[in-house]
C-alpha cells in the first residue's frame, strides 16, 4: 500500500493499463488512485501484470 504501481488488466476490448498509488488490495480487488484523482478498482482475476514503479521525476520551477 502507498507504493506507485503500474497495472495491466483484461477488458472486453483487449487490455487496459493504470498507473497510480496502490490504495488497497482486499477481497480480490485492487484500488489504484491515478494522478487525476480517479480511483480504478481492478478485479484480481482480470489482472495480467503489476509492478512497483519509481515516482515520476520532479518538475523544476
Q: Which three cell numbers stand for residue 13?
A: 476490448
Domain boundaries, the chain: 4-52
Q: Looking at residue 58, what is its pLDDT? A: 85
3-state secondary structure of 46: helix
Q: Judge whether 49 and 7 are in contact, CB under 8 Å.
A: yes
Distance, in Å, from the CA atom of 29 to the CA atom of 7, rounded to the nearest integer, reads 13
Q: CB neighbours (10 Å) of residue 22?
A: 17
Q: Looking at residue 57, what is its pLDDT? A: 83
Correct CATH for 4-52 of 2.40.128, 3.40.50, 2.30.30, 3.30.310: 2.30.30
Distance, in Å, from the CA atom of 54 to the CA atom of 52, rounded to the nearest integer, reads 7
pLDDT tens for each residue of 13-29: 999 999 999 999 999 99
Amino acid at each position: 500500500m502507498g507504493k506507485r504501481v503500474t497495472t495491466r488488466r483484461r477488458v472486453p476490448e483487449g487490455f487496459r493499463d493504470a498507473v497510480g498509488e496502490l490504495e488497497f488490495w482486499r477481497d480480490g480487488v485492487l484500488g489504484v488512485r491515478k494522478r487525476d484523482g480517479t480511483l480504478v478498482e481492478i478485479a484480481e482475476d482480470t489482472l495480467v501484470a503489476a509492478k512497483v514503479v519509481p515516482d515520476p521525476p520532479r518538475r523544476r520551477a
